[in-house]
Structure 1
Amino acid sequence: MTRVYMNRWFSVAYHYINMIRNNPDGEPFEFYGTHPDINHMSLLAADHAGTEPAVFGLEYVEFCVDFCKRNSIDIFIPRLHMEEISRYVHLFDEIGTKVMVCRDIQLLDSMIEKDKFYEALADKNLVSIPDYRVVNTAAEFKRAYEELTAAGHKVCFKPTKSEGGMGFRIINNERNPLRELYGYVTLSTTFKQAYETLSSTDRFDSLMVMELLEGIEYSIDCVATAEGELLTAIPRRKSTGRTYLLEETPELLDIANRIAKALRIPYAFNIQVRYSHGVPKLLEINPRMSGGLYITCLSGVNMPYLAVQALQGKAIAPPVPRFGIQAGYVEQPLIMK
């Protein structure tokens, strides 16, 4: 029986645990999960659940090491504080726990801070990068906005270090605040509103001011070996609402292959791109299973289990995914107790 631990994951961990558990080889697994909220949905599929302490840095890593040691964990699939866990991964090696994390600290740190990652990729000819500026003051924000609009771009901004859509805003000077009060919550703000808010402090955490990409968005879910050799890449096209299309797009598969060969990211990772005037441009790369991976697995490829096999060092034949699948998702009630 292989024991797997997942720390503070999103609620989609429910799906990934069940996919690994219901693997086609019948390999038995036992799952452990921790989260600050013991009632979090990510823990629902776990066989054993625990509460995480409010600690950070090395202290948090030591909590995870102790948890793995006490529960004889074979495989640790982290989400929270991946960079700290990678920095001290030798502590897990010492107790015999395999960790699904990129061990290239410099690469991992750069993927987490988007501006550093764009800088690292600038001369590698792997994928087009959006036009952007990094700013820390209101004056720099104003200058960046003016330069990008002069270049013909619509403009958005987001923190250099954030997860998902946190802090993302679109600059739209045609907003009607009264009409928006009666509508849905919007991600838009005017330049004036953003500038006035940022002017309230002398200096703020780094923001990326960048061209707004308005074309079709894709998530390319990937799995590679421990050495970073790509086993599979499946583009998932984001459509309207909750609709997705698993699409065999040679241009995107080529991007995935180039990135895999150049960066050697191990195990599960996700490349997000969005088209602008027919050109796919990089949004970000997440060095973990993506939030929508369970939809990609409708291709017939059990990607969470594939990543586990890669971590175990097993010989894996590259799978053959089914493309052309249109899919979506709906809420399903689950009894927790």
Structure 2
Amino acid sequence: MTLLDTDRPSKQDGDVTVLVTGVGFPATSTIIRALRQTDAFDAHVVGVDSDSDACGFSLVDTAETVPPGDSEEFIPALKDITRREEVDVVLPLVPAELQPLADAKPAFEELGAEVMVADPESLATACDKGQLYGTLVKQVHPVVPEFYRVSTCEEFVDAVYALGYPNRSVCFKPPVGSGMRGLRILDPETDRFGVLMDKKPSSIVTNLEDVLPVLEETPEFPNLVVMEYLPGEEYCVDVLAGKDDVPVVVSRTHNETHDTGFVKSTVEEHPELIRYSCELSAALGLEYNATFQFKLDAYDRPKLVEVNPRLSESSSACVGAGVNMPALGVQYALGHELPEVDIEWGVHTAQNYQVVFYSTDKESTTI
């Protein structure tokens, strides 16, 4: 697989200052470590987060607290840090920061920094599941699950029954969201006592009888995507997309235990998922790192769950298979010609999170 040489002017090899956002996410530590493991450049990492106790601050060279990504003060604060620290590349990891940073890319380019996000239009489609599915339906793409966009309680109930409830499980979620926020699986055979006594309060399994009263009482019904439940195995495909090519693609299983935050992956070659991810990257006009999440339906056909148009925390699983996604993304942003990658298929990864202790003088210790 030959990797592309971008049309941006190449910086000299050597020290590279990378500004990483969202270093409070526990899994961000693996991304920071991956940036330091590459031989392609020496990373000076500036870490920012809206939480002054962000766990990733113990791993970076320079730590800065910034306003939240949806605040009007976020972009000005990040520009000040970029100017002061002479940042070469901005690597955003927080979903709420992607659109503001995409809109502000020209301002960062004037400061000499490349922002690792797609253009605003591509980003808007990828981040909105309803818009994403609708775009792919028009292209008659086979990975689109059965779905409905609803904005009233009546539409919600009609969609749930149209998808086969109560003979089939159904799920729903906001069209724009982060992680699993707002996701619920409607299972008509839910063991309510088992959920109460054996599951943590974060369980996403419920039924229509429990959900409907809450939705009926809400003053303003939310926009939702109601879709078929996909019971099969979950896969992720991590890509580094260029403007005209998708040169780095790694497929893997993804098994996340939501009660514990424990993630297990096996890097496995799945040609069909790799092909779909390349097609989707091109169709959506994505650039830089992205992760496509698929699940198998009841007939073992892969369906697209969502697209994360950023470097996902779990993509560090690829590092053990010889593909340093964070470092390759930075190299692409710098305009470097990328090396050949040799994927070690079959590598298994178990990923958990770290603990950081702060003493009274704010010195940190990591275990």
TM interval, shorter chain, is over 0.9
Query: Which amino acid in 1 is paired with 2:187?
Result: N
List per-residue Cα deviations over 1:81-104 (Å, max 9, x = no partner): 11011112111111111111112x
Change (3 A) 1:59 1:332: closer
Whether 1:314 and 2:329 are equivalent positions in the alignment is no
**1:81-230 aligned within 5 A:** 81-103=97-119, 105-149=120-164, 153-185=168-200, 186-225=203-242, 227-230=243-246
Distance in 1, matches of 2:216 and 2:125, equals 28
Distance in 2, matches of 1:3 and 1:32, equals 7
List per-residue Cα deviations over 1:26-63 (Å, max 9, x = no partner): x2221111112222122221101111135735432122
Change (3 A) 1:73 1:274: same
Distance in 1, matches of 2:90 and 2:352, equals 29
**1:17-32 aligned within 5 A:** 17-25=32-40, 27-32=41-46
Aligned twin of 1:69: 83
* 1:331, distance to aligned residue in structure 2 (A): 4.8
Aligned twin of 1:328: 350
CA contact (8 A) 2:27 2:352 kept: no
* 1:114, distance to aligned residue in structure 2 (A): 0.9
Higher relative contact order (CA 8 A, sep 6+): 2
CA contact (8 A) 2:31 2:313 kept: no
List per-residue Cα deviations over 1:270-310 (Å, max 9, x = no partner): 00011111211111111111121111221111111111111
**1:215-294 aligned within 5 A:** 215-225=232-242, 227-239=243-255, 242-276=263-297, 277-294=299-316
Distance in 2, matches of 1:54 and 1:101, equals 18
Give the share of equivalent positions with the same residue, in percent.
26
Query: Which amino acid in 1 is paired with 2:158?
Result: R
- Give ranges in structure 2 of 5+ residues lacking alignment: 1-14, 258-262, 358-363
1:248 partner SS: coil
Query: Which amino acid in 2 is paired with 1:303?
Result: M
CA contact (8 A) 2:151 2:222 kept: yes
CA contact (8 A) 2:89 2:114 kept: yes
- Give ranges in structure 1 of 5+ residues lacking alignment: none
Aligned twin of 1:8: 22
Range 296-305 or range 322-331, more displaced: 322-331
TM-score normalised per structure 1 = 0.92
Distance in 2, matches of 1:318 and 1:122, equals 35
Distance in 1, matches of 2:117 and 2:68, equals 22
Query: Which amino acid in 2 is paired with 1:97?
Result: A
CA contact (8 A) 1:4 1:73 kept: yes
CA contact (8 A) 2:291 2:307 kept: yes
Distance in 2, matches of 1:152 and 1:261, equals 37
Aligned CA RMSD, in angstroms, stands at 2.0
CA contact (8 A) 1:32 1:48 kept: yes
Query: Which amino acid in 2 is paired with 1:61?
Result: I
Distance in 2, matches of 1:39 and 1:68, equals 21
1:213 partner SS: coil
TM-score normalised per structure 2 = 0.85
Change (3 A) 1:127 1:308: farther
CA contact (8 A) 1:237 1:245 kept: yes
List per-residue Cα deviations over 1:233-281 (Å, max 9, x = no partner): 1111124854321111111111122123333311111000111112111
Aligned residue pairs, count: 334
2:198 partner SS: coil
CA contact (8 A) 2:252 2:266 kept: yes
2:341 partner SS: coil
